[in-house]
Amino acid sequence: MRRLEFHLSKVEELYDAYCIQRRLRDGASKMVAAFNSATGSKEARESLSEANKGYRECTEHMCSLESELESQMGEFHVKMKGLAGFARLCAGDQYEVLMRYGRQRWRLRGRVEVKQIWDSEEYIFMPLVTELLSIKVTELKSLANHVVVGSVSCEMIDLFCPLPQTLAVDINDLGTVKLNLEVTWRYLNLSWSLLFL
């Protein structure tokens, strides 16, 4: 428990420093905008140069903090549980699911038989500070004819949870197609659920 408490305090300290740098960068951005609209005097140009320098420094510091914070956030183990389609899914249908999370991608294909068969069933995403999880489902009808069933973006913040979570994500606007996933957040190669049992 002490190790976890220490880790939590470190993450909170990094996040607080990140928020401070973000506020400083926002202030520098407003100063740049103000000096850009000012007259072209020598003092205004010098102030603009200083404001731009401050903006760049804050951005570099934020990137460094973001990278360090992400390295402290563990990993998400995502298991594919299948699609649910309320009579939309028929035997023989083939689907492709593409998940993007920053630069990370998981592309998997599956077909509907008596049960659904997927070419891969688990993937590990490294948590990111500012990104959304983007999910796109495509029905593969023939070589040249693919139909996008729907796409959605999800916040990952709620997935930092000690127990595995089962998610049913609405893929289309009507909610007639859902993607079922199980997400387990792990840190230090231990499942949080094991720590609390």
Instruction: Provide the pLDDT confidence category of residue 1 given band limits of 50, 70 and 90.
Output: low
Average pLDDT score over residue span 128-137: 89
Domain boundaries, given as residue ranges, for the chain: 2-71, 75-196
Q: pTM for this structure?
A: 0.72
Top-confidence range, 29-33, 43-47, 120-124, 155-159: 120-124
**Residue 75 reports pLDDT greater than 70:** yes
Decide the pairing of beta strands 104-112 and 146-154.
Answer: unpaired
DSSP letter at 85? -
**Residue 4 reports pLDDT greater than 80:** no
Residue holding tokens 């630069």?
A: 103
Q: How much is the mean pLDDT over the chain?
A: 84
For the stretch 181-184, contacts whose Cβ atoms lie closer than 8 Å and that sit 24 or more positions apart, written own/partner, are: 181/78, 181/79, 181/80, 181/81, 182/78, 182/79, 182/81, 183/76, 183/77, 183/78, 183/79, 183/159, 184/76, 184/77, 184/79
Cα–Cα distances in Å, from 91 out to 80, 87, 138?
Answer: 19, 11, 16
Cβ pair 194, 187 in contact under 8 A: no
Q: Of 19-23, 35-39, 46-50, 147-151, give the lowest mean pLDDT range.
A: 35-39
| Architecture (CATH level 2) of domain 75-196 | Sandwich (2.60)
**Residue 190 reports pLDDT greater than 60:** no
More confident residue, 107 or 173: 107
**Residue 193 reports pLDDT greater than 60:** no
CATH no., domain 2-71:
1.10.287
Q: Say whether 127 sits in a helix, a strand or coil.
A: coil
Cα atoms in the Cβ-side hemisphere of radius 13 Å centred on 13: 8
